[in-house]
A and B are shown apart, each in its own frame.
Chain A
Amino acid sequence: MQFLKYPGMKYSWFKKFTVGIALFFTFLLFLSIGTLLFVLSPSEIFSALLSEEMLYSMKLSILTASVSTFSVMCCSIPTAYALSRFSFPGKSIIKTVLGLPMAFPELVMGLALLLLFGQSFLGPALEAVGIKVTFSKLGIIIAQFFVSFPYAVRIIYSTFEDINPRYELVSRSFGYGEFETFRHVTLPMARSGLFASGVITFARCIGAFGAVLVLAGGSYMYTEVLPVTLYLNISYGNLEMAITSGILLMGIAFLAILSFERFEGGRP
């Protein structure tokens, strides 16, 4: 929405004030990103990129984020559908709990998970069957999962809400069951929303740091994903490695936002 132009607009101090703030801070943000990109020479970036540590961290990041994204999607689609279509006892509680991690510091989430898998009955029980969550690669995936799950549910929920349930009713009336209807009608109609949430989930999993650090521990070349590489190298004072992993993370985020915009904007 836009206001109509009116004669006094030219002298509006309020307009100058708001536009000024918008310009100033966008400029600062842009400048900081630019510094990140241009502080190193291309050859320095290149050598950092090809270092053993960076390659390991990249590979691990992409692997864990892919597995997490896949499991998040598998769980958030049914969750979002249940929240959107059915009424059941405890629905509002589930909605509140799922909304919590959005305002909840990631670090606290990591601590909570660490206590759950390390201290409570669950950790020893899992370890008895040979599954170790804390300070392991599995821990990275679990941490990423819990950090991005609420966001995925929220996006998919609003996608399902946008689909008129009457489409499903019409399909049912032709003799299709609930699951058949979901597969043939609801899922294809939700595909752009599902794609968008997949992209956002992947980006969040790649960038998840606090929870991953606490639950999986940031150990060199073992549970080292890209944000951990950045963190470890800053603490050693190894700026080249830190900056390069920063650039990588930024590039992934940029690609994610780009494809998100493209698919959200161009709904079929």
Chain B
Amino acid sequence: MSFLEVRDLCLDVGGFELDRIELKAEKGDYLTLIGPTGSGKSLLLETIIGFYGPEKGRIILEGKDITDLPPNMRQISIVYQDHMLFPHMNVFENIAYAIRKKLRDKKQIEAEVKQIAGVLGIGELLHRKPATLSGGEKQRAAIARSLIVRPKLLLLDEPFSALDARTKEKLRKMLKKAIGEYSTTVLHVTHDFEDVWALANRVVVLRKGKVMQSGDPESVFRRPSPDFVAEFLGTNVLKGKVKALEGKLTVIEAEGLEIYSSDPAEPGEEVAVSIRPEEVILARGVMESSARNTLKGKVSGVFKKEHLVVVEMEMGHAEIKVVVTPTSCEMLGLEPGREMYAVFKASNARIIR
């Protein structure tokens, strides 16, 4: 039996719904739930913590059915995007409030608060009211407040989405460290892939209240199954038709391009092809290589993203995103208007249906 099991969970609260959700997590897992707005991610978390009662289905934590327990008996904590720090208490009181049900001794409480504040770097802010803190500081205080009780399960509802990129990065590192120290199982709702890459060991993709796909990040990102997942995960999706079969390869005509894929398909079939931006190589000229696909195109845009560069290429009628390092960007002299060749293997052009 898994540490956390959500079985056949159904709930409709008007506008948001959960439709037969199945979820499993092992102790120590860091599970991210991704999906577009309105896919029922937050509703799922608030049902697990006990804010809503499901119409159908069970929630099992550590082998115990907690579906009908009130939230105060579940030992689950939650951190929201807008932190929900109590405005009438300062940071110390906020964090101490959480532990006061477990510890009576004032000295012990103070020691615990100091410890978690140290881990999250908010030791200097303990006497401040939440309204005087920056977004990142508030979120660290909220994380401290949730972790200090050593919950069985920590729920994070888009905790970083209101923060700027640098703060996010810093907070992710701190969160990772804190979670390691308090050895917590985490369910993290997000729409940011960086969260998935940096933190998670498992991903669940939700859409319209349904689980579309789940697995470890690597496999979900590499083998996006339904069309939606591929679109959502930011890969290049080209729509086309299978033209012919050449030996073991499938030739697809898609948006004015001829693409070789090693995935099987029937001639005449309408398909979509997914090409991950990081699996494309850019070259100045045609080169001899083992890669079957060499497509000519024009650079239409170059953007920095975190520590990488995203290059947008115009090819046929399509626009294809390619990710390169800043060094190769400089070496190749990439700038809008330049003609380049995009090279990728047939095995990296995945047919998705």
Contact = CB atoms under 8 A, between A and B. Distances in A.
Secondary structure dominating the interface of B: loop
A268 B88 contact: yes
A36 interface: no
A239 interface: no
B80 A185 contact: no
A238 B97 CA distance: 61
What DSSP secondary structure best describes chain A's contact surface? helix
Residue with the greatest number of chain B CB neighbours at <10 A, chosen from A170, A185, A191, A268: A170
B87 A189 contact: yes
B72 A173 contact: yes
Q: How large is the interface on B (under 10, 10 to 19, 20 to 34, 35 or more residues)?
A: 20 to 34
B123 interface: no
B77 interface: yes
A174 B103 CA distance: 12
B343 to A, nearest CB: 50
B268 interface: no
Contact of A268 (B70, B87, B149): B87
Nearest to B148: A174
Q: Which one of A172, A184, A191, A268 has the greatest number of beta carbons of chain B within 10 Å?
A: A172
Interface in A152-204: 164, 166-167, 169-177, 184-185, 188-189, 191
A170 B78 contact: yes
Interface string B37-78: 000000000100111000000000000000000111111111
Contacts of B51: 169
15 contacts: A166-B84, A167-B86, A169-B49, A169-B71, A171-B97, A172-B50, A174-B98, A174-B149, A175-B72, A176-B72, A176-B101, A177-B72, A188-B86, A189-B88, A268-B87
B248 interface: no
B106 interface: no
A175 B51 CA distance: 14
A219 B190 CA distance: 70
A174 B84 CA distance: 13
Interface of B: 46, 49-51, 70-78, 80, 84, 86-88, 97-102, 149, 151
Nearest to A189: B88
Nearest to B77: A173
B286 to A, nearest CB: 58
Contacts of A268: 87-88
Contacts of A169: 46, 49, 51, 71, 78
Nearest to A163: B87
Given A166-B80, A189-B88, A173 B101 contact: no
A268 B89 CA distance: 11
B88 A174 contact: no
A173 B71 contact: yes
Contacts of B76: 173
Given A166-B80, A184-B97, A172 B86 contact: no
A261 to B, nearest CB: 21
Interface residues of A, number: 18
A16 B84 CA distance: 48
A176 B73 CA distance: 9
The 4 closest A-B pairs by CB, nearest first: A175-B101, A172-B71, A174-B98, A188-B88
Given A175-B72, A184-B97, A189 B86 contact: yes
A174 B144 CA distance: 13
A185 B97 CA distance: 10
Contacts of B46: 169
Indicate the member of A164, A171, A268 with the most B CB atoms within 10 Å. A171
A175 to B, nearest CB: 4
Contacts of B73: 175
A174 B87 contact: no
A169 B47 CA distance: 11
Given A176-B101, A185-B86, 13 more contacts: A169-B46, A169-B49, A169-B51, A170-B78, A172-B71, A173-B78, A174-B72, A174-B77, A175-B73, A175-B101, A175-B149, A176-B72, A177-B72
B65 to A, nearest CB: 18
Contacts of B87: 189, 268
B146 to A, nearest CB: 8
A172 B87 CA distance: 17
Contacts of A177: 70, 72
A65 B332 CA distance: 84
B74 A173 contact: yes
Contacts of A175: 72-73, 75, 101-102, 149
In this complex, the member of B77, B98, B151 whose beta carbon has the largest number of chain A beta carbons within 10 angstroms is: B98
Contacts of A191: 88
Given A169-B51, A169-B71, A169-B78, A174 B101 contact: yes
A164 B75 CA distance: 21
Nearest to B142: A170
Contacts of B151: 173
Given A164-B84, A189-B86, A174 B78 contact: no
B174 to A, nearest CB: 20
B84 to A, nearest CB: 5
A101 to B, nearest CB: 32
Contacts of A170: 78, 80, 84
A268 B75 CA distance: 31
